[in-house]
């Protein structure tokens, strides 16, 4: 049964977190958050899929785990919840309403000539009309934000919206 490494956390705690940088570029960040411990495995760019885990504060045993995307924290795939003894109590398929996977969306972004380096935020949800969509916010130039919407069922580009950001004096 996986447990939170409290010894490592306390030995390396600095500025709100314990951070480990691996040779492959991955960063492991350990935090105490909302009365539980959390660990994030954040891969080096260009990989966007991170792993998140939370732990019970009393037993330090795994409470929840799954994957999420950098630049917005959108949960993807199956997230599992555990009891304090390590037994699975629930599984949530966060992709159920979004048939177009992250890997397929990454391919669509390449087809639309959208660089992940330009992307500042990734999200998905339902429109007012009930259409499942992926949303990407980009900063293609200074003072310009662009939001790109894709249908999360078909992968079809729905619309691109540009907005000029005005700075107040």
pLDDT single digits (tens) 65-122: 999 999 999 999 999 999 999 999 999 999 999 999 999 999 999 999 999 988 999 9
pLDDT of residue 43: 94
Higher-confidence residue of 128 and 1: namely 128
Domain containing 159: what range? 102-164
* Model confidence at 124: pLDDT above 80: yes
Question: For residue 10, which phi and psi values (nearest 5 degrees)?
Answer: -70, -35
One domain, residues 89 and 115: no
Alpha-carbon span 96 to 98, nearest angstrom: 6
pTM of the model: 0.88
Distance, CA of 68 to chain centre: 3
pLDDT for 17: 93
Query: What CATH number is attached to the domain comprising 118?
Result: 3.10.450.40
Residue 18: the pLDDT is: 94
- Domain check: are 122 and 143 in the same one? yes
Please say which residue of 93, 114, 129 terminates a domain.
93
- Sequence-separated (6 or more) residues with CB below 8 Å from residue 38: 30, 31, 32, 52, 53, 54, 55
Domain end call among 93, 119, 153: 93
Helices (H), the chain: 6-12, 102-111
Q: Does 143 reside within a domain?
A: yes
pLDDT at 16: 87
Given 66, 93, 120, the domain boundary residue is 93
Q: Specify the number of domains making up the chain.
A: 2
Does 11 share its domain with 86?
A: yes
Residue-wise pLDDT for 82-94, tens only, equals 999 999 999 999 9
What backbone phi and psi angles, to 5 degrees, belong to 110?
-60, -40
Q: Is residue 125 a part of any domain in this protein?
A: yes
Confidence of residue 1 (pLDDT cuts 50, 70, 90): confident
Token pair 């890997």 in the structure block, residue: 103
pLDDT value of position 159: 94
Element (DSSP H or E) covering residue 64 = strand 62-69
CA distance 69 to 8: 25
Q: In this structure, are 74 and 120 located in the same domain?
A: no
């Amino acid at each position: 049964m996986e447990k939170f490494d409290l010894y490592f956390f306390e030995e390396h705690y600095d500025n709100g977190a314990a951070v480990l940088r691996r040779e492959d570029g991955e960063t492991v960040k350990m935090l105490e958050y909302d009365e539980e411990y959390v660990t994030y495995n954040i891969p080096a760019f260009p990989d966007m899929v991170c792993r998140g885990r939370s732990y019970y504060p009393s037993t330090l045993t795994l409470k929840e785990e799954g994957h999420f995307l950098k630049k917005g924290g959108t949960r993807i795939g199956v997230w599992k919840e555990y009891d304090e003894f390590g037994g699975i109590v629930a599984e949530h398929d966060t992709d159920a309403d979004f048939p177009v996977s992250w890997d397929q969306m990454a391919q669509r972004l390449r087809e639309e000539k959208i660089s992940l380096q330009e992307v500042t935020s990734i999200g998905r949800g339902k429109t007012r009309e009930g259409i499942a969509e992926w949303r990407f916010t980009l900063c293609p130039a200074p003072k310009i934000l662009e939001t790109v919407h894709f249908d999360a069922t078909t992968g079809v580009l729905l619309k691109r919206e540009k907005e000029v950001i005005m700075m107040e004096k």
